[in-house]
Amino acid sequence: MLKYCLKKAGQVAIVMLLISFFSFAIIDLAPGDISSMYLTEDMSDAEKQIVIEKLGLDKSMPEQYVAWLQEALKGNFGVSLSYKTPVAPMLTKRLPSTILLMGTSLLVSLALSIPLGLIAGYKKNTWIDNIISGFAYFGMSIPSFYFGMLMIILFTATLHWLPSSGMHTVGVNTPSDTFQHMIMPVLTMALSTMASKTRYVRANTIGQLSEEYVLASKAKGCTPAKILRKHVLKNTLLPIITILGMNMASLVCGSFIIESVFGWPGVGSFAMEAIGKRDYPIIMAYVMLSGFILVAGNLVADILYSFADPRIKRGIDIANGK
Amino acid sequence: MNTLVNIKNLSVSYFTYAGEVQSVRGISFDIEKGKTTALVGESGCGKSVTSKSLLGLIEKPGVIKEGSQIFFEEKNILEFTDKQWFQFRGKECSMIFQDALVSLNPTMKIGKQIMENLQNHNTDNLPLSKIRQKAQEMLELVGIPDSRSCLDKYPHELSGGMRQRVMIATALITNPKLLIADEPTTALDVTIQAQILELMKKLQEKMGMAIIMITHDLGVVAEIADEIVVMYAGKIVERGSNEEIFYNPRHPYTWALMKSVPRLDLDNKEELVTIEGTIPDMIHPPKGCSFCSRCPYTMNICAEHEPPNTDFGDGHQVSCWLTDPRADISSVPFQTGGAVNV
Amino acid sequence: MENKIVFDENSFRRLEKKEKDLGTVYHRSFWKEAVKEIKSNPMAVFAVVFLVVIIIAVLLAPLSPYDPNQLNLANKFAEPSLQHPFGCDAYGRDYFTRALYGGRVSLLVGFAAMLVTVFIGTTIGIFSGYIGGKLDMLLMRFTDIFLALPSMLLMIVLNTILKPGMTTLIAVLSLFSWASVARITRAETMSLKERDFVIAAKNLGANSVLIAVKHIFPNILGSVIVAASLGVASAILTESSLSFLGLGISIPHASWGSMLQEAQGYILDKPIMAIYPGLLILLTVLSFNILGDVLRSALEPKIVK
């Protein structure tokens, strides 16, 4: 089991390296001279030279990359071009609010999509399945930022129920105020990740119901409710764990867009701002952070799954000669 | 009366994309208490559908047609309510399937799956520990070594033969009166097949249940069956005792089936017979005898009219025009006529 | 009943020549199946009708009497009227005309990205699956890496750096979506490769390229079409997100996504500006998704209907 975890962790490291190298290379290709953002008119050529050397800009891309990587591994992602302060603390300061948003959305979307998918799968091709599947189609096809805008139009512009932007009302810092600010972004994000999960649970339920062990349970005199609860549920939900891992991508990218729509003070809207200013150290750090959340999410999901499914766990142990 | 099950005019159709597939077309036969009845035929002949009807497991798009009756100890089970079905399935009648691996829930421990059957029919209010003990006893009974630790294993950790033993233990823990075995040995190695059949025979002697053995393997049939029902294209073409069917087949299909397997007990120089062609389209079943297109002795009448059922005594019944005294039986290599009442 | 049978002298005569019952083959072609499937599903009919209407509408956009980029401050935020069915935007431009031109961009990007995606994906998939061995392993590792990358994120980074515009968008969208198409076509090719007609063609000496083009491609066409339909949907959706973030089509040109970006500025005062382009994206993407799913179910072997 340990060996399996290590192997998976190794894969994570490789993907992270690839992502970092890829992003670094792209940024290196970017038009415009980065050094110009650090240099001022009144510097002498010698001073300019010192700055350029300090930034490592006189070196080749691979050398710069290795230097960056060494620092990044120590948690140093360089200095922001626009704020002139270290990048890492700025990001970590904003990380909690992003995690709050992502975590809540994940829970909401799970709490809704699992029962909906189960019902739709069990009641396949009935009116209730049609409604749920139609809803999933809707969620799959609507751009998340558009759904967010529609919510703002409805709940802020028309009904004046909810605040449209930010995390707190100025000068107020109560949980209920934050909660009010959270409702729209959380629902928007939950909807966009729910659609695929609901469809997946539905398809899985249908697949499991057609398995022969279901027929065998019927032959044992199990009632439909018992078959669903005792047999189908576990087998349907196990693969959801891996889907959760894959969902990290839509969560990370979702937070990027949704934070911008709702002015949520997280890492996503911060990175958005950095993109506008072409502040590469921040962009690079953000890519690494998001990539890490994403890949680590996949890793945790894989490992959890292998613990939860007896077939895989024992299979791995046998493969490792235990 | 020794009759346990009495099937009368059972017809089952599946309404599919292409049309109505008439899987079973009005069959009738009895199952004796404590005896083994083999349902024999090629795949698609309706034998599995017949057995599923016995447990009320025909599901959409399948429909048991109007006019069908199945009496289990004189009760027409086709009129059962859902609740009656839940009590019936697993308690009065159990079933084991071809592939035990997919018939067992992959993520549930063996013990739990065996116990579940008894828990569903726990009329004596046995405590859980008693049920668990009973499950372990059943595992011992079906010959699983180390039955205690087996209770906590998952299906994929057992071999194919062991899994089938677990299925048998699950089916029999409630002491059912009828066990339906749907090709229980097809997925197993030949040596394991023999062991499983031996086990089923032994358990039948001990527990006294009737067995319906569904198979296309005549070796299995010879080994275990008391009565044989030969099905072809949703109909019964011949039925009778094991000896009658094996040594005195009167239907060209049965005869060809018997001759299509190599047998050690007969003269080895005999040539094996092959049955050419495939089973007819069950969406548009033929007007006359359904075996007509593959039968080497077809007469004009065969294509036009279904043959009547002829009784040769001792329950040996045949549906074939060749048994008619007027039939052209030149070069027919088996006995045809001599019916008790023509 | 048997009594009613009339026996004549021929009844019991042996039938010497008889017609062999060859069984009935139920032939199903993908296209017939697809049409049948669409006709039987009102949602699919809606999707097809909507797509036809929207495609014709954007093609006919130049017939509009207004220039989509012509500023006319007198008409600033004009209410919807007969002259301006969607009203006018902050610069007095006819919003309906802009939506049509925006649709041209969105659909063009969607279709072009899909074509490139499908072309790259199918080519890699077929050759990887058909040739197999080391090449297959190498190509599939490569594909897996692309599947594992956080594509949206890298698209954002890429678009930040590259010169914004349609070509960039199409290239970036295709770069990050061919991998899944390659996976699908590879799997299908692998199973087709073992089929008798391919083996027969190989034994007859046909060369690999010919076999791939003449025998394998037509047989995976169905899956490719399904992937294409879903691909257009996801390309349009991603394009709209990128344009919404200001990383796609640049002003004064518009796509539906960039129209939404503009509309976000006045969302509390003029919410109607946001509703139209978003609705167009939603309905278009929805239609392609429905179409893709319906085509997929036309591909599936069916027992039950």
C-alpha span between C170 and C174 (Å, rounded): 6
Greatest mean pLDDT among A238-242, B97-101, B163-167 lies in B163-167
pLDDT in tens, A25-54: 877 776 656 666 666 667 777 777 777 676
Are residues A222 and B104, on separate chains, in Cβ contact within 8 Å? Answer: no
Q: State the pLDDT at residue C122.
A: 92
Beta-bridged to residue B39, according to DSSP, are B214, B229
What pairs with residue B240 in β-bridges?
Answer: B228
Among candidates A29, A143, A295 on the partner chain, residue whose Cβ is nearest the Cβ of C281: A143
Q: CA–CA separation, C47 vs C289, rounded Å?
A: 9
Q: How confident is the model at residue B310 (pLDDT cuts 50, 70, 90)?
A: confident
Q: Average pLDDT in the C52-67 region?
A: 86
Of B132, B141, B125, B142, the residue nearest B111 (C-alpha) = B132
Count of structural domains, chain A: 2
- Distance of residue C287 Cα from the nearest chain A Cα, in angstroms: 9
Q: What are phi and psi of B26, to 5 degrees?
A: 70, 65
B18 interfaces chain C, CB cutoff of 8 Å: yes
Q: What is the mean pLDDT of residues C133-146?
A: 82
What local confidence, expressed as pLDDT, does residue B202 receive? 92
Q: Are residues A221 and B170, on separate chains, in Cβ contact within 8 Å?
A: no
In a domain, A303, yes or no: yes
Residue A112 and residue A250 in one domain: yes
> What chain B residue is nearest to A212 in terms of C-alpha separation?
B103
**Counting Cβ atoms within 10 Å, is residue C4 exposed (0-12), middle (13-18) or buried (19+)?**
exposed
Q: What percent of chain A has pLDDT over 70?
A: 90
Residue of B nearest to C25 (CA): B281
In a domain, A28, yes or no: yes
Q: In what order do the strands lie in the sheet with B227-232?
A: B93-96, B178-182, B210-215, B36-40, B227-232, B235-241, B317-319, B309-311
Q: Residue A116 above 80 pLDDT?
A: yes
Q: Residue B37 — pLDDT band, cuts 50, 70, 90?
A: very high
Instruction: Report the range of poorest mean pLDDT among A140-149, A280-289, B331-340, C296-305.
Output: C296-305
A306 at B interface, C-beta within 8 A: no
Asked if A230's CB is within 8 angstroms of B90's CB, the reply is no
Could you tell me if A100 and A60 lie in one domain?
Answer: no
Asked, for residue A78, whether it belongs to a domain, the answer is no
CB–CB of A238/A304 below 8 Å?
no
Among candidate residues A43, A73, A103, the one where a domain is terminated? A73
> Is A30 within 8 Å of C268 when comparing Cβ atoms?
no
Partner-chain residue, chosen from C163, C281, C286, that has the shortest CB–CB distance to A137: C286
Residue B88 at interface with chain A, using a CB cutoff of 8 Å: yes
Question: Interface partners of B (3+ CB pairs, < 8 Å)?
Answer: A, C
User: How confident is the model over A284-303, as a mean pLDDT?
Assistant: 82
Query: What is the CB neighbour count within 10 angstroms for residue B337?
Result: 14
Q: What is the ipTM of this complex?
A: 0.85
Interchain contact C20–B (C-beta under 8 A): yes
Would the CA dihedral through B101, B106, B110, B116 be positive or negative? negative
Residues A65 and A91 in one domain: no
pLDDT of residue B283: 82
Asked if the C-beta of B105 comes within 8 angstroms of chain A's C-beta atoms, the answer is yes
Q: How many CB pairs under 8 A join A and C?
A: 121
| A241 and A122, same domain (yes or no) | yes
Domain end, chosen from A38, A73, A108, is at A73
**Ranges A8-22, A202-216, B261-275, most confident:** A202-216
Q: Residue C17 — pLDDT band, cuts 50, 70, 90? A: low
Distance from CA of B68 to the nearest CA of A (A): 21
| A80, part of any domain | no
Task: For residues A50 and A166, state if they share a domain.
Answer: no
Phi/psi at B93 (5° precision): -140, 125
Q: Report yes or no: B89 at the A interface, CB cutoff 8 Å.
A: yes
In CATH, what number does C45-69+82-299 get? 1.10.3720.10
Query: Does C16 contact B at CB distance below 8 Å?
Result: no
Q: Does B49 touch chain A (CB under 8 A)?
A: no
Option in C153, C161, C274 nearest A149 (CB): C274
Closest by Cβ to A212, choosing from B103, B108, B121 = B103
Q: Which residues constitute the domain of residue A45? A: 2-73
- B51-109 tens-digit pLDDT: 999 998 888 888 999 889 999 998 999 999 999 999 999 999 999 988 888 899 988 99
Contact flag A143-C260 (C-beta cutoff 8 Å): yes
* CA B272 to chain CA mean position, Å: 25
| Nearest by CB: A218 against B87, B89, B107 | B89
Q: Using CB atoms, which residue from A23, A145, A275 is nearest to C260? A: A145
Does the beta carbon of C9 lie under 8 angstroms from any beta carbon of chain B? no
C8 to chain B: closest CA residue: B301
DSSP for B31-98, written as a single string: EETT-EEEEE--TTSSHHHHHHHHTT---TTEEEPTT-EEEETTEEGGG--HHHHHHHBTTTEEEE-S
- Contact at 8 Å (CB) between B186 and B217? yes
Query: Would you call B104 and A231 a contact, using CB atoms and an 8 Å cutoff?
Result: no
Read off the CATH number of the domain in which A225 is found. Answer: 1.10.3720.10
> What is the residue extent of each domain of chain C?
45-69+82-299
Which strand (E) or helix (H) includes residue A291? helix A280-308
Residue C228 buriedness (CB in 10 A; 0-12 / 13-18 / 19+): buried
Nearest CA in chain A to B154: A310
Q: Do B106 and A235 touch (CB under 8 A)?
A: yes
Count of CB contacts below 8 A, A vs B? 73
Q: Is B300–C15 a contact, with Cβ atoms under 8 angstroms apart?
A: yes
Query: Which one of A138, A145, A283 has the shortest CB-CB distance to C160?
Result: A283
Cβ burial A230-241 (10 Å sphere, 16+ → b, else e): bbbebbbbbbbb
CB-count burial class (<10 Å; 0-12, 13-18, 19+) for B155: buried
What's the rounded Cα separation, in Å, for the pair B182 and C78? 75
Same domain for A287 and A245: yes
**Is A107 contained in some domain?**
yes
Residues of chain C with C-beta less than 8 angstroms from the C-beta of A21:
none
- Give the burial string for B213-227 (b: 16+ CB within 10 Å, else e): bbbbbbbbbbbbbbb
* Residues A91, A64 share a domain: no
Q: What does the pLDDT average to over C147-163?
A: 76
Q: Do C160 and A153 touch (CB under 8 A)?
A: no
Report the C-alpha gap between B195 and B143 in whole angstroms: 10
Model pTM score: 0.81
What local confidence, expressed as pLDDT, does residue C16 receive? 63
Q: Does the pLDDT at position C120 exceed 90?
A: yes
> Do the Cβ atoms of B327 and C304 come within 8 Å?
no
Residue B4 tokens read as: 């346990």
Does residue B169 surpass a pLDDT of 90? yes
- What is the rounded end-to-end Cα distance, in angstroms, of chain A? 9
Tell me what the pLDDT averaged over chain B comes to: 86
B-chain CB neighbours of C18 within 8 Å are 292-293, 298, 303
- Dihedral sign, CA of C256, C262, C265, C266? negative
Q: Would residue A22 count as lying in a domain?
A: yes
Q: Is B84 on the interface with C (CB under 8 A)?
A: no
Mean pLDDT score, C203-210? 80
For the segment C187-216, the average pLDDT, to the nearest whole number, is 81
Supply the pLDDT for residue C305. Answer: 31
Residues A22 and A113 in one domain: no
Asked if the model's pLDDT at residue B122 lies above 60, the reply is: yes
CB distance B326–C7 less than 8 Å?
yes
DSSP summary character for residue B180: E
- Rounded to a whole number of angstroms, the distance from the CA of C196 to the nearest CA of chain B is 21
Strand B93-96, strand B3-15: pairing: unpaired
Identify all chain C residues contacting A141, using CB atoms and an 8 Å cutoff: 233, 237, 282, 285-286, 289
**CB atoms C149 and A15 under 8 Å:** yes
Q: Are A186 and A108 in contact (CB under 8 A)?
A: yes
